[in-house]
A and B are shown apart, each in its own frame.
Chain A
Amino acid sequence: MKLVGGTVYALKIPFAEAFRHSSQDRAWSDAVVLRVVSDSGVEGFGEGLPRSYVTGESVEIMVRRIVEDLWPGVVGRELPAAGPHFDSIDEFIPNPAGGGVIAHNASRAAVELAVADCVYGGAGRSLGLAFPPVRPTVRYSGVITAGSVEQTRKIATQMRLIGLSAVKVKVGLGDDVGRLEAVREVLGPQASLRLDANGAWPPGDALARVAALERFGIDCVEQPIPRGAVVELQRFRAACSIPVMVDESLITMADAEVLIEARAADFFNVRISKCGGMAPSLRIATRALEAGIGVQVGCQVGETAILSSAGRHLAAALPSLAYAEGSFGTLLLAEDVSIDPVRFGHGGAGSLLKGPGLGIRVRTPVLEKYAVRQVELRCC
Chain B
Amino acid sequence: MINRDYLESQFARNTDELVSCPEFRALEDGSASPDQYDAFIANVIRAHLRSPQIVAFLFALAPPETAESLEENMLEELGRGDEAGTPHPSLLKDLAAAAGLLLGPIEQMAVIDLRRLATEPLLYGTLKENGLAALTQVCAFEWMLSRTSSRVAMALTRHRGLALENLEWFTLHSEVDIQHAEEGLNNLLSYIRYYEFSDDDAQSIVEMALRENLFIKRYFGELSLASVRARGVR
Chain B residues within an 8 Å CB radius of A330? 120
Binding site for A on B (CB under 8 A): 112, 116, 119-125, 129, 200-201, 204-205, 207-208, 211-212, 217, 222-223, 225-226, 229-230
Complex Cα–Cα for A369 and B222 (A): 10
A14 CB-CB contact with B under 8 Å:
yes
Contact with B along A330-354 (1 / 0, CB 8 A): 1100110001110111110111000
In the complex, are the beta carbons of B222 and A334 less than 8 A apart? yes
In the complex, are the beta carbons of B201 and A346 less than 8 A apart? no
Interchain nearest-CB distance for A343 vs B (Å)? 6
Contact A28-B123, Cβ < 8 Å, known A16-B211, A157-B204, A161-B205: no
Contact A17-B226, Cβ < 8 Å, known A162-B123, A341-B119, A346-B121: no
Chain B residues within an 8 Å CB radius of A345? 120-123
Interchain nearest-CB distance for A161 vs B (Å)? 6
Q: What is the chain B residue whose CB lies nearest that of A346?
A: B125
Interface residues of A in 151-180 (CB under 8 A from B): 154, 157-158, 161-163
| Contact with A163, one of B120, B125, B201, B230 (Cβ below 8 angstroms) | B125
Contact A343-B124, Cβ < 8 Å, known A14-B223, A16-B212: no
Residue from B112, B129, B208, B230 whose CB has the most chain A CB atoms within 10 Å: B208
Given contacts A158-B208, A161-B123, 20 further A-B contacts (CB under 8 A): A14-B223, A16-B212, A17-B211, A17-B212, A27-B230, A28-B226, A154-B207, A157-B200, A158-B204, A161-B204, A162-B124, A163-B125, A334-B217, A334-B226, A340-B116, A345-B121, A345-B122, A346-B122, A350-B121, A370-B223
Complex Cα–Cα for A202 and B217 (A): 42
In the complex, are the beta carbons of A154 and B121 less than 8 A apart? no
Contact with B along A174-198 (1 / 0, CB 8 A): 0000000000000000000000000
Binding site for B on A (CB under 8 A): 14, 16-17, 27-28, 154, 157-158, 161-163, 330-331, 334-335, 339-341, 343-347, 349-351, 369-370
Q: What is the chain B residue whose CB lies nearest that of A15?
A: B226
Q: What is the chain B residue whose CB lies nearest that of A330?
A: B120
Interchain nearest-CB distance for B27 vs A (Å)? 21
Interchain nearest-CB distance for B128 vs A (Å)? 11
Complex Cα–Cα for A369 and B121 (A): 25
In the complex, are the beta carbons of B201 and A161 less than 8 A apart? yes
Q: What is the chain A residue whose CB lies nearest that of B198?
A: A157
Interchain nearest-CB distance for A349 vs B (Å)? 7
In the complex, are the beta carbons of B223 and A369 less than 8 A apart? yes
Interchain nearest-CB distance for B184 vs A (Å)? 23
Chain A residues within an 8 Å CB radius of B230? 27
By Cβ-Cβ distance, the 8 closest A-B pairs, closest first, are A345-B121, A14-B226, A334-B222, A341-B120, A157-B204, A346-B125, A335-B222, A16-B212
Complex Cα–Cα for A331 and B212 (A): 11
Chain B residues within an 8 Å CB radius of A163? 124-125
Chain B residues within an 8 Å CB radius of A349? 121
A/B interface sample: 16 pairs, CB < 8 A: A14-B229, A17-B211, A17-B212, A27-B229, A158-B208, A161-B124, A161-B205, A330-B120, A334-B212, A334-B222, A340-B116, A343-B120, A343-B121, A345-B123, A346-B122, A370-B223
Interchain nearest-CB distance for A226 vs B (Å)? 30
Interchain nearest-CB distance for A181 vs B (Å)? 16
Chain A residues within an 8 Å CB radius of B204? 154, 157-158, 161
Complex Cα–Cα for A330 and B116 (A): 12
Interchain nearest-CB distance for B200 vs A (Å)? 6
Complex Cα–Cα for A331 and B211 (A): 10
Chain A residues within an 8 Å CB radius of B112? 339
Chain A residues within an 8 Å CB radius of B129? 161
In the complex, are the beta carbons of B123 and A346 less than 8 A apart? yes
Complex Cα–Cα for A14 and B223 (A): 7
Interchain nearest-CB distance for B6 vs A (Å)? 14
Interchain nearest-CB distance for A97 vs B (Å)? 36
Chain A residues within an 8 Å CB radius of B200? 157
Complex Cα–Cα for A370 and B116 (A): 20
Complex Cα–Cα for A346 and B212 (A): 20
Q: What is the chain B residue whose CB lies nearest that of A14?
A: B226
In the complex, are the beta carbons of A157 and B201 less than 8 A apart? yes
Chain A residues within an 8 Å CB radius of B124? 161-163, 346
Interchain nearest-CB distance for A257 vs B (Å)? 38
Q: What is the chain B residue whose CB lies nearest that of A366?
A: B222
Interchain nearest-CB distance for A176 vs B (Å)? 22
Chain B residues within an 8 Å CB radius of A17? 211-212
Q: What is the chain B residue whose CB lies nearest that of A349?
A: B121
In the complex, are the beta carbons of A14 and B222 less than 8 A apart? yes
Complex Cα–Cα for A343 and B121 (A): 7
Q: What is the chain A residue whose CB lies nearest that of B217?
A: A334
Chain B residues within an 8 Å CB radius of A27? 226, 229-230
Contact A341-B122, Cβ < 8 Å, known A27-B229, A157-B200, A334-B225: no
Chain B residues within an 8 Å CB radius of A346? 121-125
Q: What is the chain A residue whose CB lies nearest that of B201?
A: A161
Chain B residues within an 8 Å CB radius of A344? 121
Complex Cα–Cα for A334 and B229 (A): 12
Chain B residues within an 8 Å CB radius of A162? 123-124
